[in-house]
């Protein structure tokens, strides 16, 4: 029988009173609990801290860290909160480190499943699973690379996480994508396992304006991580077939082009840009050769 890795978790939480108890109940009920779980309240003012505090007395392995309220809201703040939690574990012995958002829930053997995958394949550096939005259907992984592990819930082998230097505090986002690419650059495999699923409870905007804005931001993130212009054109065409039809793809391309025209500084190295583009061009060649290729991530 394989010996499963030990693990710890960090959850950055900013005003998550509506959902964090679902996450708390999920982690507390795990068949294999983390050695430690640090929840970092990133200046929450909505009662998040009080909800977490109810669980501390009966679960000594959970720790709440409070950070001061900040006016500016950006993705780098999430990384700063994560790092504050990870700092609490530097002297501990463990094999894997997980980042879990405070609006996710999962069944009781969720982390046992992921730990089993790490135990079975020593080359895996980052693992995760498919997810379902509670406001809609499951994410369509026919069109998303299973090499990409979404940032809502990521479990890293500690050696991999330390080798990539942790998360990059990119204000514009794409933090999870940068971590995925960085891991593969270091020779690790990254994998989403679609046979398992968790729930993401954040309500996604269904308004047309909100979805278009999200597509524009996705295009900007594509530029930030160095997506190849040819790949972006193919992705634009694909996105035109998804709602909001036509305009969604144009918004994606506009976000990419706007960042290109402004010569926005990328938060990643030129080496990573070249590596990422090589991956994309290889996948594009496979697509043109008639193989099944996923046109996202």
pLDDT in tens, 180-225: 999 999 999 999 999 999 999 975 444 445 889 989 999 999 999 9
Max CA distance (Å), the chain: 59
214 strand-pairing partners: none
Domains annotated on the chain, with CATH: 7-200 (3.90.550.10), 208-288 (no CATH)
pLDDT in tens, 61-94: 999 999 987 766 667 889 999 999 999 999 999 9
Please state the rounded mean pLDDT for residues 117-145.
81
Spatial distance between the Cα atoms of 77 and 170, rounded to a whole number of angstroms? 9
pTM of the model: 0.91
Residues with Cβ within 8 Å of residue 28, at least 6 apart in sequence: 55, 59
pLDDT in tens, 143-171: 468 899 999 999 999 999 999 999 999 98
Q: Residue-wise over 111-122: b if at least 16 C-beta within 10 A, else e?
A: bebbbbbbbeee
* DSSP conformational letter for 254: H
65 strand-pairing partners: 40
The pLDDT score that the predictor gives to residue 77 is 87
The pLDDT score that the predictor gives to residue 218 is 92
Tokens of 245: 């039809």
CA of residue 239 relative to chain centroid, distance: 21
């Amino acid at each position: 029988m394989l010996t499963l890795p030990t693990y710890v978790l960090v959850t950055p939480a900013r005003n998550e009173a509506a959902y964090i108890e679902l996450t708390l109940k999920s982690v507390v009920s795990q068949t294999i609990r983390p050695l430690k779980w640090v929840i970092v309240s990133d200046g929450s003012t909505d009662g998040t801290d009080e909800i977490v505090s109810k669980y501390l007395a009966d679960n000594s392995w959970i720790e709440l860290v409070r950070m001061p309220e900040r006016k500016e809201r950006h993705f780098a703040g999430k990384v700063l909160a994560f790092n504050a939690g990870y700092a609490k574990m530097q002297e501990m012995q463990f094999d894997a480190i997980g980042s879990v958002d405070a609006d996710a829930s999962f069944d009781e053997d969720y982390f046992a499943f992921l730990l089993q995958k790490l135990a079975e394949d020593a080359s895996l550096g980052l693992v995760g699973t498919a997810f379902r939005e509670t406001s809609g259907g499951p994410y369509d992984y026919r069109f998303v690379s299973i090499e990409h592990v979404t940032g809502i819930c990521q479990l890293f082998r500690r050696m991999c996480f330390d080798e990539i230097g942790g998360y990059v505090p990119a204000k514009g986002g794409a933090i999870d994508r940068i971590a995925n690419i960085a891991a593969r650059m270091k020779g690790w495999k990254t994998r989403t396992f679609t046979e398992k699923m968790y729930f993401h409870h954040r309500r996604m905007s269904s308004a047309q304006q909100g979805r278009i804005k999200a597509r524009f931001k996705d295009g900007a993130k594509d530029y930030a991580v160095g997506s190849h212009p040819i790949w972006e054109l193919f992705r634009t065409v694909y996105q035109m077939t998804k709602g909001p039809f036509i305009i969604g793809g144009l918004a994606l391309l506009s976000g990419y082009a706007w960042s290109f025209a402004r010569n926005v500084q990328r938060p990643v190295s030129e080496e990573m840009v070249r590596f990422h583009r090589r991956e994309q061009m290889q996948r594009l060649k496979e697509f043109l050769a008639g193989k099944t290729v996923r046109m996202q991530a």
